[in-house]
Homo-oligomer: A and B are copies of this chain.
Amino acid sequence: MERQDAALPGDRRFFERNGPFSLRALAECAGARVEGGDEADDAPRYVGIAPLQSAGPQEVSFLDNRRYAPLLEQTRAGVVILAPAFVDRLPKGTVGLVCSTPYLAWARVAGLFHPVPAAIPGIHPTAIVGAGADIDPSAQIGPFVTIGAGAQVGAGSRIDAYALIGDGVRIGAHCRIGSHASVSHALLGDRVTLLSGARIGQEGFGFAVGPDGFETVPQLGRVVLEDGVEVGANSTIDRGSSQDTVIGAGSRLDNLVQIGHNARLGRCCIVVSQAGISGSTELGDFVTIAAQAGLIGHIRVGTKARIGAQCGVMSDVEAGADVIGSPAMPFREFFRNVAVLRRLAKKATQNGGGET
């Protein structure tokens, strides 16, 4: 196949490209100080972004990690976004955009060159729209989309192919609903993004034991995704049983994440891929849950707590705590246990006892 990194980043087959932009425009976008250049320069000199090692004089790059500082000294990039600590390693002829948060500045400059495509207003002729649905004229409804009766879609929102929006569902403004997603029994705020195959609002895992097996307990709650929530591909969020399942504003869920019925996440929580949160568990704000971690039901996790990868959380976690392991324990204790067990096991085997 063709060389894999050809035309990267921003392969024109896949990504829109704006520009060129001037140093002044870049500095304003980055909120950065100009080092080694004229911050008033309005000439549109810069055409795109590139990594340090491949960037040319018309391209913008960035340095965020000390490990890559040697690449900075070799770069031919026209502009590099970087932290003050690295300014003195800028090569001749490369302008620095200096700021305390270079990664954030990079995100904004990259978005300047490669904006998220805006919604193209209109409803595809193959889409099916139910009675009384209220779709803003500026929204984009893709091919084979189904919008239920009485559903609402806000201004500038984009609903991709094969998405199913159930009866009565409310979708706010500037949302992106990915292809093949299903949304039912749900209220979405503004700027909510669902990636492809996300499942929002299906019935939760609720049943009672009857004489002839399990009997379903009606799941009569909803899902509420507050403003700015993002949900990854093929993730699943069950609706509440009698209350709501709530994802707080600005929270981000990765792919293949499971959220059980009645769970409540605070603002700006992060849930990494393949993690699961069981029913009725509540998270404060800014909680981070790493990949493949699991939380049992009916517990509370305090604000800014951090749950490590593959952690098994069986009880409440205090605000600000750092836990890992299954069952969960403080990071320090977990790694101490690992070290001690290794030592004890070595000793035991030296004594020939390891295999008993």
Query: Shortest beta-carbon distance, A173 to chain B, in Å?
Result: 12
With both beta carbons as reference points, the residue of chain B lying nearest to A190 in the complex is identified as B1
Closest 4 CB pairs of A and B: A13-B168, A9-B220, A213-B250, A9-B242
Are B292 and A276 in touch, CB under 8 angstroms?
yes
With both beta carbons as reference points, the residue of chain B lying nearest to A2 in the complex is identified as B187
Of the 9-residue stretches A34-42, A85-93, A133-141, A142-150, which lies at the interface with chain B? Answer: A142-150
CB pairs A–B below 8 angstroms (15 shown): A10-B220, A13-B168, A107-B218, A110-B217, A160-B164, A164-B180, A180-B182, A207-B252, A214-B228, A214-B268, A294-B309, A296-B309, A339-B355, A339-B356, A341-B344
Are B213 and A236 in touch, CB under 8 angstroms?
no
A276 cross-chain contacts in B, Cβ below 8 A: 256, 273-274, 291-292
A202 cross-chain contacts in B, Cβ below 8 A: 178, 195-196, 232-233, 255
Say yes or no: A209-B104 contact (C-beta < 8 A), given A224-B4, A236-B255, A348-B343: yes
Query: Shortest beta-carbon distance, A289 to chain B, in Å?
Result: 12
Are B341 and A341 in touch, CB under 8 angstroms?
yes
A144 to B110 Cα, complex, angstroms: 35
Query: Which A residues from 174 to 233 make CB contacts under 8 A with B?
Result: 178-180, 182, 184-185, 187, 189, 195-197, 199, 202-203, 205, 207-210, 212-218, 220-222, 224, 226-228, 230, 232-233
With both beta carbons as reference points, the residue of chain B lying nearest to A126 in the complex is identified as B128
Interface centre among A162, A168, A340, by most chain B C-beta atoms within 10 angstroms, is: A340
Of the 9-residue stretches A21-29, A69-77, A315-323, A330-338, which lies at the interface with chain B? Answer: A330-338
A274 to B224 Cα, complex, angstroms: 23
A167 at the interface (CB under 8 A from B): yes
Are B8 and A110 in touch, CB under 8 angstroms?
no
A234 at the interface (CB under 8 A from B): yes
Residues of A within 8 A of B (CB): 1-2, 4-5, 8-11, 13-15, 49, 51, 101, 103-104, 106-108, 110-111, 114, 116, 126, 128, 143-144, 146, 150, 160-162, 164, 166-168, 178-180, 182, 184-185, 187, 189, 195-197, 199, 202-203, 205, 207-210, 212-218, 220-222, 224, 226-228, 230, 232-234, 236, 238, 240-244, 246, 249-250, 252, 254-256, 258, 260, 267-268, 270, 272-274, 276, 278, 291-292, 294, 296, 309-310, 312, 314, 326-327, 329, 333, 336-345, 348-349, 353-356
Are B233 and A236 in touch, CB under 8 angstroms?
yes
Are B255 and A258 in touch, CB under 8 angstroms?
yes
A336 cross-chain contacts in B, Cβ below 8 A: 345, 349, 354
Are B197 and A197 in touch, CB under 8 angstroms?
yes
Are B226 and A273 in touch, CB under 8 angstroms?
no
A232 cross-chain contacts in B, Cβ below 8 A: 202, 205, 236
Query: Shortest beta-carbon distance, A10 to chain B, in Å?
Result: 5
Query: Shortest beta-carbon distance, A261 to chain B, in Å?
Result: 11
A340 to B355 Cα, complex, angstroms: 8
Are A234 and B344 in touch, CB under 8 angstroms?
no
Are B144 and A217 in touch, CB under 8 angstroms?
no
Are A208 and B103 in touch, CB under 8 angstroms?
yes
Say yes or no: A15-B242 contact (C-beta < 8 A), given A199-B196, A199-B197, A353-B343: no
